[in-house]
Amino acid sequence: MSDWAPKRFWKETIVTEAGEGFTLHLDGRPVRTPLKAPLVVPTRAMAELLAEEWEAQQGKINPETMPATRSANSAIDKLSLQQTEVAEMLAAYGGTDLLCYRAERPLALVQRQAAAWDPVLDWAARTWKAPLVVTAGVLPVDQPAASLAALKARVMRLDTFELAAFHDLVAISGSLLLALALIEGEIDVAAAWEASRVDETWQNEQWGEDEDAARIEAGKRRDFEHAYRFYGLCR
């Protein structure tokens, strides 16, 4: 397999206005997405973060060090073409939300799950009129249709760039409710992450942490925190 990768060819990276958004110019040439669409983002703050990523490239360009650029590309090249379908897919997480499926034992884990998850469930019931049913075990449980509809309505209000970030918050955490609580400011990013990993943390405490698993987990946390930051830059 070839190890060829594009190399830095520009000297100057600047942010410029582009209609109602902002874009980057490399030595005066506008940046485009992998599908050759104009790379136009909604806020100057987001464009400046993209510019930092491009300016940091030295020698070979490494997309793995450019998470904000990847998210923006995804919003433009992918989500703009299937926004409704992605929003519906994410809203469907409410039907099998992580927070609704509890351990039956040991008691300490049951209590830890309740402490981390019950406040978020209470918040959803109070704020969105969306109470969800909690069950023990892994067998699926039907959720109230009205609750799922209320949660879906909130997801459908997200714009393309917000949805790109929200997708990762939901997919990484496994919880629609945690992602909603996070973007609504009900919990902070550290609390949301810890709540999403209650079971994993418990297992590590009982059996020790595997190095490979820990490395994967650290990568997921970086991606989760990036998604939250990217969401915050959408407005």
- Which pLDDT band holds residue 203 (cuts at 50, 70, 90)? very high
Question: Do residues 54 and 112 share a domain?
Answer: no
CA distances from 49 to 7, 28, 43, 80, 159 (A): 20, 18, 10, 21, 19
Query: What's the structural domain count of the chain?
Result: 2
Same domain? For 59 and 95 the reply is no
- Residue 32 DSSP one-character state: B
Same domain, 167 and 223: yes
Residue 174 and residue 59 share a domain: no
Give per-residue pLDDT as tens, 108-142. 999 999 999 999 999 999 999 999 999 998 888 99
88 and 200 belong to one structural domain: yes
pTM of the model: 0.94
- Judge if 208 and 142 occupy the same domain: yes
Is residue 71 in some structural domain?
no
| 1 belongs to a structural domain | no
How confident is the model at residue 5, as a pLDDT? 60
Range of the domain at 185: 81-232
Q: Which of 38-47, 190-199, 203-212 has the lowest mean pLDDT?
A: 203-212
Domain identity same for 62 and 87? no
Is a pLDDT exceeding 70 seen at residue 4?
A: no
Instruction: Say if residue 46 is in the same domain as residue 90.
Output: no
Mean pLDDT score of the chain: 94
- How far from chain centre, in Å, is Cα 105? 30
Let me know: does 42 contact 161? Beta carbons within 8 Å.
yes
Contacts of 54 (CB under 8 A, 6+ apart): 13, 24, 26, 31, 66, 69
Please report which confidence band the pLDDT of residue 3 belongs to, taking 50, 70 and 90 as the band edges.
low
Distance between CA atoms of residues 148 and 132, nearest Å: 8
In this structure, the answer to whether residues 132 and 96 fall within a common structural domain is yes
